[in-house]
Structure 1
Amino acid sequence: MRKIGLAILSLILIISAARAQQKKRTLDKIAGVVGSNIILQSDIELKYATYVAQGMPPNEAAKCQILQQLVTQKLLAAQAVIDSIDVKDDEVDNSVDRRMREMIQRAGGQDRLEQFLGRSVIQYKDEVRPDIKESLIAQKMQQKITANVNTTPQDVKKFFDGIPKDSLPTFNKEVEIGEIVFSPKLNNSEKEAYKNKCEELRKRVLAGEDFGKLARLYSQDPGSAPQGGDLGFADRSAYVKDFTAWAFKLKAGEISPVFESEIGFHFLQVIERRGEQVHVRHILIIPAVTEDALNRAKAKADSIYNLLQTNKKINFSEAAAFYSDNKDTKYNGGMMLNAENVEARSTYIPTDKLDPQVALVVDTMKVGSISKPFLFTGQDGKKGYKILYLKSTTNAHRANLEQDYPKIKEYANNQKINLTVSEWFEKKRKETFIRIDPQYQGCPMLKGWSTPATAEIKTEDTKPAEVKH
């Protein structure tokens, strides 16, 4: 809480300074020039305000990095125009909405964020939208530049052999773990009171009470309740099946009946439909798990554990696919993925990164064994039961190709990608006129980026724009 408080205080100071500048009618200045595109000081200040609003510690040196990012972004975006690379409006809207939800949550509500920014969320979204669009285009251009990067086994060996023996990384003890999760499920009579509560709230909305106010008071969706239930624009992939069905069925202004999803009971209102995106708000009521439901989950877990012990025709992977309630692992044979390496879909998890509840059980297991069902509490605070399977254990060791080939290949591949991008930038920088304002020429990461003075064009006559606040 103290860090968030300091971040908010810093943001207030930044916005206050900006307002003071506006009152003095101070003119903006050009912080950088990339080809025919300019980077204004206000662009850097807006990004810096966002940086602080997202919870990062205030640091003036971050502005050097921001300017470097803007220069490289404009180099990539300029090439993207030549290569006819663009992004759809839906992609931009999704990215803008996602950023706003994160900032609103960190600030403690939309009203507080608007107070800090000194403008409405709608105004801020309009200001940052062009930059976010350019950023997405730049990302696509970079992906195209590295699309043909291929790391062969020979590349991996060459990379590994190039690491000094005394500099080889040490990998902590790792395990491969499978899980079958049993979540408690309420019966219809246990759900009735929560459904009725949702129905009563819907009736109050239909009777004329303010939807947003009721959502702030009663909705149990922590992400949207502070914003009056507003979920912003999203496509069909953003929501669970039942929610999507109603969100894309209704017309603007219409309110759905109360419906049940895997999360709880909802009703929603469509605010606006834009192509394959819809802007909705909702109220969510989450039923509380009863002791009886938890006991039923335990009984099922005990039954499946006994089945795995006595019936050798069914293996753990098949049981996980059929019985587990965790959709993230059941279709992966029950195998848990390393949260820090999800893209590589690595099943090797360092023991120091395990959930303490899981680590406590795994510590007593032998490779190939299955644990008895145990009670656990998820990150959302909900309780359930798990059965674990310990597939393998790798002790702490110095990196070697035999045990760590997938990790070393990833490092080698990243090195090739970074080298490819760096070579592209070096070539493009030499072909493009770049000017960095003297204020930033002391930044280590921007050293040597400015085009030599003999090749510069005059920018002093460029009329500076007024500060945007």
Structure 2
Amino acid sequence: MRKITYLFFSFILIALTASAQKQTLDKVAGVVGGSIVLQSDIESTYAQYLSSGMQPDPAAKCTILQRLIVQKLLAQQAVIDSVTVNEDDVDAEVDRRMRAMIRNAGSQERLEQFLGRSVVQYKDEIRPDIKEQLVANKMQGKITEKVSVTPQEVERFFNKIPKDSLPSYNKEVEVAQIMFQPKLNKEEKAYYKQKAEDLRTRIKNGEDFGTLARLYSQDPGTAPSGGELGFQDRSSGLATEYAAMAFKLKAGELSPVFETDFGFHFLQVIERRGEQVNTRHILIMPTTTPASIERAKSKADSIYNLVTLNKNIDFASAASFYSDDKETKYNGGMMMNYEDVQSRSTIIPTDKLDPQVALVVDTMKVGEVSKPQLITGQDGKSTYRIFYLRSVTNAHKANLAQDFPRIKDLAQSDKVNRTVSEWFEKKRKDNFIRIDPEFQSCPQLKGWNSTSVAAQVTATKSDEK
């Protein structure tokens, strides 16, 4: 957490430095037709590059300038082709990025302190850049929308890859699970609810909310800041019960104790701003008991018998009816490869599985259902799980027979990139581009300075306008 915070504030510091440069010592790093790329634009993007955990690399600034020039050219073509984006989509993207920054900063107030301006002001500043990015992305999508690859093209692409450069794939599996969470009964929950009620009473009697949150709240993300979440809207990912309570109360009001999947809370509304609300809360998290763990095991044993011995229900249906894992229960219990989000692949390299799960799966045969296993998550919580092994692919060098879908994706990406590059090379010759001498040594920008008469005329007309 300290590392993330350090990186975030380093990013803010660099961004503020870039902002200061824009007002004082800024210079034009590149010109594309009637648009310019400022040195401060490069520095701000480079700051984001560093904040993502990448190592310092001055050469990255060459790539950033290249990308910004391509973005400007795409945006200019979008005007010609009447390609636009919905203003609501721009606002949504601005809000999404601001929520991420507020979350990383810890609160809106802390972010505003480091920005030296209000969030509203900063959103107005970044909105034109974000809109241009979205327009450029849409324009690129239009250029490549009809690009596709045939099986023959996939094969030709694969055959051009040198044999010693073929990718290697680790052992991969498809695994489904049914999860059984230990659940407290009403009597067991009563103790934790009462702890929350007692703290709420102390606050009503005059004790400081922030102090008690720092001392007793079990939400590690907000307890250090007195329980404060910062401004959130209804789409910020708040628990449903929490959002309903937060948007029902007025500023200063204290909620009753209520329950979510995280435990027992009560909250206080600090401030309302239109469709955003800033709250602080105290969370008391119930602890599983030996009895609740035993109940979970008993249920897991029962469902295991239904699936394997009595065979009254198939695994996918059992997951839908009985699993406590909301992410997998409605897709037959299939675990997803979260490093391949776009394709929503169920094929998972074994080295990406939880080591406890991988250990169980390694002993199974395809089509087999495991006996209930006690698995402890990274959060320290234990659950009983039943696993079903649907398929296994052993470690191997890439080949068309086993890896056609992945090779097709690579071939598609290659063709898309070539299409965009060809489009850019054609447009580059017809548009005025000037690169600042500082960046003319960048390999990817060599030869980009315009020399054609047509491009110079285009630039002159743009300047006259």
Task: Name the TM-score class by shorter chain.
Answer: 0.7 to 0.9
In the other structure, the counterpart of 1:86 is 86
Between 347-356 and 287-296, the greater mean CA deviation after superposition: 287-296
- TM-score for the superposition, normalised by structure 2: 0.83
In structure 1, how many angstroms separate the alpha carbons of the residues matched to 2:114 and 2:50? 11
- Cα distance in 2 for residues equivalent to 1:262 and 1:138: 41
Residue 405 of structure 1 is matched in structure 2 by 404
CA contact (8 A) 1:3 1:55 kept: no
Which secondary structure does the structure 1 equivalent of 2:176 belong to? strand
Q: Is the contact made by 1:179 and 1:335 (CA closer than 8 Å) also made in structure 2?
A: yes
Q: Which residue of 2 aligns with 1:298?
A: 297
How far apart are 1:426 and its partner, in Å?
A: 2.5
Kept in 2, the 8 Å contact 1:246–1:256? The answer is: yes
- Does residue 1:99 correspond to 2:70, yes or no? no
Alpha-carbon distance in 2 for matches of 1:3, 1:294: 36
In structure 2, C-alpha distance between the alignment counterparts of 1:217 and 1:38, rounded to whole Å: 52
Q: How far 1:15 moved relative to its partner?
A: 7.4
Query: In 1, are the aligned partners of 2:30 and 2:433 still within 8 Å (CA)?
Result: yes
Match of 1:56 among 54, 57, 80: 54
Structure 1 residue 177, shift from structure 2 partner: 1.0
Distance 1:17 1:33 in 2: 22
Q: For residues 457-468 of structure 1, what are the structure 2 equivalents within 5 Å? A: 457=459
Following TM superposition, by how much is the alpha carbon of 1:154 offset from its aligned partner in structure 2, in angstroms?
Answer: 3.5
Aligned match of 1:139: 137
Alignment CA distance shift 1:317-1:21 (3 Å): closer
- CA shift, 1:285, in A, is 3.4
Residue 359 of structure 1, CA deviation = 1.0
Kindly tell me: are residues 365 and 21 of structure 1, through their superposed partners in 2, closer, same or farther at Cα, counting changes over 3 Å? closer
Assess if the C-alpha contact under 8 Å between 2:18 and 2:41 holds in 1. no
Q: Structure 1 residue 142: deviation in Å?
A: 2.9
1:72 match: 70
Gaps of 5+ in 1: 463-469
- Offset at residue 180 of structure 1 (A): 0.8
Bigger drift between 388-397 and 257-266 goes to 257-266
List per-residue Cα deviations over 1:109-130 (Å, max 9, x = no partner). Answer: 7787667666666665554343
Choose between structure 1 and 2 for higher RCO, CA contacts under 8 A separated by at least 6 residues: 1
Instruction: Tell me the CA shift for residue 226 of structure 1.
Output: 5.3
Moved more, 354-363 or 127-136: 127-136
Distance in 2, Cα, partners of 1:432 & 1:225:
55
Q: TM-score, normalised by structure 1?
A: 0.82
Shifted more, 185-194 versus 446-455: the winner is 446-455
| Residue 46 of structure 1: aligned partner | 44
CA root-mean-square deviation: 3.7
1:189 to 2:187 alignment: yes
Please state whether the residue corresponding to 2:339 is helix, strand or coil.
helix
Distance 1:93 1:203, change over 3 A: farther
SS at match of 1:370: coil
**Cα displacement (A) at 1:384:** 0.9
Q: Are the structure 2 counterparts of residues 242 and 442 from structure 1 closer, same or farther at C-alpha, using a change threshold of 3 Å?
A: same
State the Cα distance separating 1:188 from its structure 2 match: 2.4
Paired AA for residue 419 in structure 1: R
d(CA) in 1 for partners of 2:188, 2:202: 23
For structure 1, which segment, 78-87 or 291-300, has the greater mean C-alpha deviation from structure 2 after superposition?
A: 78-87
* Secondary structure at the counterpart of residue 158 of structure 1: helix
Q: Distance in 2 between matches of 1:300 and 1:84?
A: 55
- The 1-side partners of 2:448 and 2:208 are apart by 55
Distance 1:420 1:441 in 2: 25
Post-superposition offset of 1:44: 2.2
